[in-house]
Amino acid sequence: MEKSSSYPNYSSEFGFKNRRNPYAFNGPSTSNDPEMKRKKRVAAYNMFAKEAKVKASVNQSFKWIKAKFSYIRYSL
């Protein structure tokens, strides 16, 4: 039985090392586009503002509940 011969004329790299990839995981690269950077930054600021509003609302709700229970407990 004859051994299987390798293919010396073919490379296993297929030329992928030298090729630039313009796409990141989530889409095209925006590293050079200042308008996209600004939009991302503004979106992040808006998200922080929303988180702060939700946190403040939850905090006020707990304070209201605590005040009601304290009033009921100590008013009797």
User: What pLDDT, in 10s, does the model give residues 13-66?
Assistant: 555 555 565 555 666 665 678 899 999 999 999 999 999 999 999 999 999 999
Residue appearing with tokens 């939009």: 39
Give the length of the chain.
76
Least Cα distance to 43 among 32, 25, 30 occurs for 30
Backbone angles phi, psi at 44, to 5 degrees: -65, -40
In this prediction the pTM is 0.48
